[in-house]
Amino acid sequence: DTEVTQTPKHLVMGMTNKKSLKCEQHMGHRAMYWYKQKAKKPPELMFVYSYEKLSINESVPSRFSPECPNSSLLNLHLHALQPEDSALYLCASSPPVGVGEAFFGQGTRLTVV
């Protein structure tokens, strides 16, 4: 299994809503990532978890809250988002940090209205 699975595929939420994005991998990877990608732009790193601990936060606003319940799961909790937060949110995983390539999921297309 070389897949990173993200749910939901699409999400529309209001600015006062609370929602969560989910990511799962069963490759035994110990590093997991959240990226944000705007249309026609490259992915931008948001967070990195290494061995279930947050190791990088790229100065992301607190309305985005990551969580890593175990080595296979990664969540991104969303609250009070703005329309400009609409984007494709990508999850990725890789072997222990600094060792190998990152595999990306299909992404969640988020629209904030």
Partner 1 sequence: GENVEQHPSTLSVQEGDSAVIKCTYSDSASNYFPWYKQELGKGPQLIIDIRSNVGEKKDQRIAVTLNKTAKHFSLHITETQPEDSAVYFCAASEGQNDYKLSFGAGTTVTVRA
Give the footprint of partner 1 on this chain (CB under 8 A): 4, 6, 31, 33, 40-43, 45, 48, 50, 55-56, 90, 92, 94, 97-107
- Least distance in Å: CB of 39 to partner 1? 11
CA-CA distances (angstroms) from residue 66 to 37, 46, 85? 17, 9, 15
Q: Closer to partner 1 by CB, 42 or 83: give it.
A: 42
* Cis peptide preceding 8, ω within 30 of 0: yes
- Least distance in Å: CB of 90 to partner 1? 5
Q: Closer to partner 1 by CB, 73 or 103: give it.
A: 103
Amino acid at 48: V
What do you get for the CA distance between the two ends of the chain, in Å? 36
